[in-house]
Amino acid sequence: MQPHRLHYLKIALVIVNVLMFLWVITTERPNSDRSENPRVLVVSSGNQNEKKRSQEQIKTIAPRDNHESSTTDYILYPLSLCRRNSSTQFDYLVMIFSAPGNFDRRNAIRETWASEIKEKSNSRTAFLLAKTENDKVQRAIESKFYLHADIIQGTHIDHYRNLTLKTKMMMRWALKRCPKVSFLIKCDDDTFVNVENLLKAMKGKRTNAIYGHLFANSRPYREPSSKYYVSKEEYNGTEYPPFVAGDFYVLGGSTLRRLYDASEQEPFFWLEDVFLTGFVAEKAGVNRTHESSITDDEFNCVSCIEKNSLS
């Protein structure tokens, strides 16, 4: 095949993958009850004791909920993904933050870029979920867990103010199960990753830094109506330390222990990217590096192909 024809074929394949991915994440209903879908196998019933404890946690959840709460237990995690204290070296551990009901998003990722990164690199991929109070959704999650073995589910309640708990769970699990990983990639389930550009950009990168879209001189939202409102009781400063956007960032493997240990000493803050890549990274002395090929703009095919963005 002639080189120019091969080039256009590659572009066409990328566009098809992106369009399929975007169609899924824009047409699904993330909080809908997926257990009524005949394609989803219901495999077990919810635990009533766990349900009662979860309801109590929901009643007591607060913006400054103690960071010790429900951070040490898992509902589900795959033993086969990484062996405990394994000496096996992986290039990438991809950890995708996902809400319990986002079945279609997880399926779209499995069928597109997650499959590609597995083929093109020595990597492992998992979805990080929190607890759901919907028994039918939980049974459907368990069904997918047994089918794909790629779900890690924590015991904390699924809530955007609990994302920092999920972030700490991510680091703790990686340190215990995949301690030899070179890079940990964190992204959200509405992010499409251009695998070819990612692998190219990370080639030769040091493992002692954080890479992503770096924000400096960012100020807290003080408008109470904002979803991201931060009171002065939560944070009294006028600016955040430099931090990396949370929708997609890469942690060098040699930073994980320092970051996790520092996170245990840092007061809880619910904006997970500011917490980990800002406050904690600063305390741990971990460098944050702006990677120009990572964009926090709304994804489009042109930026993916022509501007070489990673996500």
In the CATH scheme, what is the code of domain 3-305? 3.90.550
Q: Is the pLDDT of residue 306 over 60?
A: no
What percent of the chain lies above the pLDDT cut of 90? 65
Average pLDDT estimate for 96-106: 98
Amino acid 293: pLDDT: 76
Q: Which distant-in-sequence residues (6+ apart) come within 8 Å of 149 by Cβ? A: 78, 80, 81
Query: What is the spatial distance between Cα 18 and Cα 39, in angstroms, rounded to a whole number?
Result: 24
Average pLDDT estimate for 188-213: 94
Q: How does the average pLDDT of the chain come out, rounded?
A: 80
Tell which wins on pLDDT, 296 or 236.
Answer: 236
Q: Which distant-in-sequence residues (6+ apart) come within 8 Å of 154 by Cβ? A: 70, 71, 73, 74, 75, 128, 129, 130, 131, 165, 166, 169
Amino acid 27: pLDDT: 46
Average pLDDT estimate for 44-63: 35
Average pLDDT estimate for 179-199: 95
Tell which wins on pLDDT, 308 or 254.
Answer: 254
| pTM (predicted TM-score) | 0.76
Residue 169: in which H helix or E strand, if any?
Answer: helix 163-177
What percent of the chain lies above the pLDDT cut of 70? 70
Amino acid 80: pLDDT: 86
Q: Is the pLDDT of residue 131 over 50?
A: yes
Question: Helices 113-120 and 103-111, interaxial angle, to 10°?
Answer: 40
DSSP secondary structure code for residue 299 in this structure:
P
Contact 14, 301 (CB under 8 A): yes
Query: What is the spatial distance between Cα 301 and Cα 39, in angstroms, rounded to a whole number?
Result: 31
Amino acid 10: pLDDT: 55
Query: What is the spatial distance between Cα 279 and Cα 267, in angstroms, rounded to a whole number?
Result: 9
Amino acid 16: pLDDT: 54
Amino acid 89: pLDDT: 84
Q: Is the pLDDT of residue 55 over 90?
A: no
Break the chain into its structural domains and give their ranges. Answer: 3-305
Tell which wins on pLDDT, 310 or 139.
Answer: 139
Q: Is the pLDDT of residue 138 over 60?
A: yes
- Phi first, then psi: what are they for 184, rounded to 5°? -105, 120
> What's the distance, CA 70 to chain centroid?
18
Amino acid 88: pLDDT: 72
Tell which wins on pLDDT, 116 or 58.
Answer: 116
Tell which wins on pLDDT, 85 or 31.
Answer: 85
Residue 109's pLDDT band (cuts 50, 70, 90): very high
Q: Which distant-in-sequence residues (6+ apart) come within 8 Å of 17 by Cβ? A: 112, 113, 192
Query: What is the spatial distance between Cα 184 and Cα 254, in angstroms, rounded to a whole number?
Result: 10
pLDDT digits (tens, 9 = 90+) for 58-88: 322 333 333 333 345 799 999 888 876 566 7
Average pLDDT estimate for 5-20: 54
Query: What is the spatial distance between Cα 123 and Cα 91, in angstroms, rounded to a whole number?
Result: 6
Amino acid 67: pLDDT: 39
